[in-house]
Amino acid sequence: MRTAWLRWHHAAVLVDGHMDTFYKELEEGRSWFSPQPKWHIDFARLRKSGTDLQICAIYTPPKFEGADATVWAARMINRIYEAEKTAPKQIRIIRRRADLDLPRGVTGLLISIEGGLPLDGKLDMLDYFYNTGVRAMGLTHNPRNLLADGASVKRARGLTSFGKAVVKRMNALRMVLDVAHLHLAGFRDAIRIARGPIVTSHTGLCRFLDRPRNITDWQMKKIAGTGGVIAIDYLTEHLTGGPEPASVKDVVDNIEAVAEYVGVEHVALGSDFDGYNSVTKGLEDVTGVPNITKELVRRGWGERDVKRVLGGNYMRVLKAVLA
């Protein structure tokens, strides 16, 4: 069994739907090319994990508003470009569908805005960010913004008129719509307006832990109905709620639940590494990701389905959406 799961893991195309490491870079003034033992990810460990494509969140804290939010996001995007410039033979920023065919030894980075604060309420700023290489976006983080209400809002409304315009423009630009952190009220509008597959890039399931940040069975069905994916994250706060740390087995419980309910072709990985501080047993950092493969194989999963979960499903969505 050991030989099989290791072979399958390293033969798979591995995609992680969400990490916040470049937020750490900008906030702390450090580089992921140096060892960062207090982070979940640095570049050497990412490569060791077998990750082929990493989706990089551009998170803007709510303390930034207006043009300040735009500048913060632009600075973080610049960090990703600096990474590509530093290691051009090892890193490729994904700008188009053809870029997804990664040469051996090259790690792809896809830029995704997490929450629409950097747009500053201006639709043409979406085009600006697209032109800087952004290919995916989530409309909100947990609070309310000019597009919609996030998961933590008590009396939530649907998408604002600006939020609806943004989704329509994302459709036209062929950007991936991410509904992670979006309140159910806004989700209903987004699912109606969106064209093509959508994703929730890092989530848990309400059937295991019923809290606003996780998604319901109804949402699973709607996302699957678009041809999209539900990417399971590794947070104790989304998997079990504590007080004891969650484990790889809890992550795989969520993966199996999605596969059984809406089909194995609609489940993926979305770690949220470097976006949280809690510990998950077996996934203490990115080098633990092979433990997910090991646990899937232990439960009797076959090679084809393991490879779908590890990255095949996410790659299918990206190839369907990107121009």
The residue type of 143 is P
**Percentage of the chain modeled with pLDDT above 70:** 99
DSSP bridge pairs for 107: 91
8 Å CB contact between 223 and 230:
yes
Whether the model pTM is above 0.85 = yes
Please tell me the predicted confidence (pLDDT) of residue 80. 98
Predicted local distance difference test score (pLDDT) of residue 3: 81
Q: At a CB cut-off of 8 Å and minimum separation 6, what does 290 contact?
A: 5, 6, 9, 49, 50
Model pLDDT, residue 4: 83
Per-residue pLDDT at 1 exceeds 60 = no
**Residue 249: exposure state from Cβ atoms within 10 A (0-12, 13-18, ≥19):** middle
Structure tokens at 82: 């600096």
What pLDDT score does 241 carry? Answer: 92
Residue 159: band (very low, low, confident or very high) from pLDDT cuts 50, 70, 90: very high
The domains of the chain are located at: 2-321
Q: Please, which pLDDT band fits residue 2 given cuts at 50, 70 and 90?
A: low
Q: Do β-strands 51-59 and 14-19 pair in parallel, antiparallel, or remain unpaired? A: parallel
Distance, CA of 240 to CA of 314 (rounded, Å): 25
CA geometry: angle at 114 spanning 217 and 137, to 5°?
Answer: 80
The mean predicted confidence, pLDDT, of the chain is 97
pLDDT in tens, 200-214: 999 999 999 999 999
- Say how many Å lie between the first and final Cα of the chain, rounded: 40
Element (H, E) at 114: strand 107-114
**Structural contact between residues 32 and 21, judged by C-beta atoms closer than 8 angstroms:** yes
CATH fold of 2-321 reads: TIM Barrel (3.20.20)
Burial class from Cβ neighbours inside 10 Å (0-12, 13-18, 19+) for residue 154 reads: exposed
**Pairing verdict, β 134-138 and 199-203:** unpaired
| pLDDT score of 300 more than 60 | yes
Q: How far apart are the C-alpha atoms of 11 and 303, rounded to whole Å?
A: 10
Residues 176-207: tens digit of each pLDDT: 999 999 999 999 999 999 999 999 999 999 99
- pLDDT of residue 76 exceeding 90, the answer is yes
Q: What is the pLDDT of residues 30-61, one digit of tens each?
A: 999 999 999 999 999 999 999 999 999 999 99
Q: CA 269 to CA 145: how far, in whole Å?
A: 27
C-beta of residue 202 within 8 angstroms of C-beta of residue 170: no
Mean pLDDT value across residues 250-275: 98
Residue 143 has pLDDT above 70, yes or no: yes
Cβ contacts of residue 201 below 8 Å, gap of 6+? 17, 18, 55, 57, 112, 136, 138, 178, 180, 231, 270
Sign of the four-CA dihedral 19, 22, 23, 25: positive
Q: How confident is the model at residue 131 (pLDDT cuts 50, 70, 90)?
A: very high
Place of tokens 């979006």: 182
* CB-based burial, 89-111: b 16+ in 10 Å, e otherwise: eebbbbbeeebbeeeeebbbbbb
CA 113, CA 104: separation in Å to the nearest integer? 27
Mean pLDDT of 217-245: 97
Per-residue pLDDT tens digits for 17-30:
999 999 999 999 99
Query: Is the pLDDT at 168 greater than 90, yes or no?
Result: yes
